[in-house]
Amino acid sequence: MDIRKRRYALVIDSRKCINCKACVVACKAENGVPIGNFRNWITADRQGEYPKLRIDFEPEQCHHCEHPSCVRVCPTGASWQRKDGVVLVYADDCIGCRYCMVACPYDARYFHEESGTVHKCTLCSHRVDKGEVPACVETCPSKVRVFGDLEDPSSRLHELLATRRHHVKEPQTGNGPQLYYLL
Partner 1 sequence: MGTKLMDRRLFLKATGATAGAAASLQVGCLSYFKKGRSGPVDRREVPTTCELCPNKCSAIAVVEYGLVKKLNPNPENPKSRDMLCARGNAAIKQVYDPDRLKQPMIRVGARGEGKWKPVSWDEAFDFAAKKLAEVKEKHGPQASLWSSTEGFQEVFFKNLGLAFGSPNTVRHPTLCLASVNLAYSMTFGTVPSFDLLNSRYVIMSGANRFESIITPDTMDLIGGVMERKAKLIYLDPRFTVTASKADEWYPIKPGTDLAFILAMIHVIIKENRHSKDFVAAYTTGFDQLVEHVKPYTPEWAEKETEIPAKDILRIAREFADAAPRSLYYAGRRSSWYQNDFQMRRAQAILNAIVGNWDQVGGMVPNAKLPKGEFLFMPWDEPKAPRVDEIDKHFPLAAKGDGVYLKLRENVLAGTPYPIKAWMVYKQDPMNAMPDQAKTLKMIEGMDFIAVIDVAMSDMAWYADVVFPESAYLERTDPVEVMAGIWPAVVYRQQVVKPIHDTKPNLEIVQGLAKRLGLSDYFDFTIEQWVDAEFKELPIPMAAEHMKKHGVWAASGQPSYGKTLTPDHRFVTKTGKIEIFSERLKEAGQDPLPVYASPVQPPNDRFRLILGRVGYFTHANQSNNVWLNEFMKENDLWINPKPAARLGIANGSTVSVTSSVGTVKLKARVTEEIRPDCVFMLHGFGKKSKMQSLVYNVGASDAVILETAWDKVSGNAAFHETFVKVTNA
Chain residues binding partner 1 by CB under 8 A are 13, 15-16, 18-22, 24-26, 28-30, 32-36, 46, 48-51, 53-55, 57, 91-92, 114-115, 135, 138-143
Minimum distance from residue 29 beta carbon to partner 1 (Å): 5
Report the first-to-last Cα separation within the chain, whole angstroms.
Answer: 38
Minimum distance from residue 66 beta carbon to partner 1 (Å): 29
> In the complex with partner 1, which residue's Cβ is closer, 67 or 156?
156
C-alpha–C-alpha distance, residues 179 and 163, integer Å: 16
Q: How far is CA 141 from CA 18, 23, 44, 95, in A?
A: 9, 9, 18, 38
> In the complex with partner 1, which residue's Cβ is closer, 12 or 65?
12
Minimum distance from residue 117 beta carbon to partner 1 (Å): 10
> Is residue 59 within 8 Å of residue 73, measured between CB atoms?
no
> Is residue 144 within 8 Å of residue 13, measured between CB atoms?
yes
In the chain, alpha helices (H): 22-31, 69-73, 99-103, 125-128, 135-139, 156-163
Minimum distance from residue 132 beta carbon to partner 1 (Å): 9
> In the complex with partner 1, which residue's Cβ is closer, 24 or 118?
24
> In the complex with partner 1, which residue's Cβ is closer, 88 or 103?
88
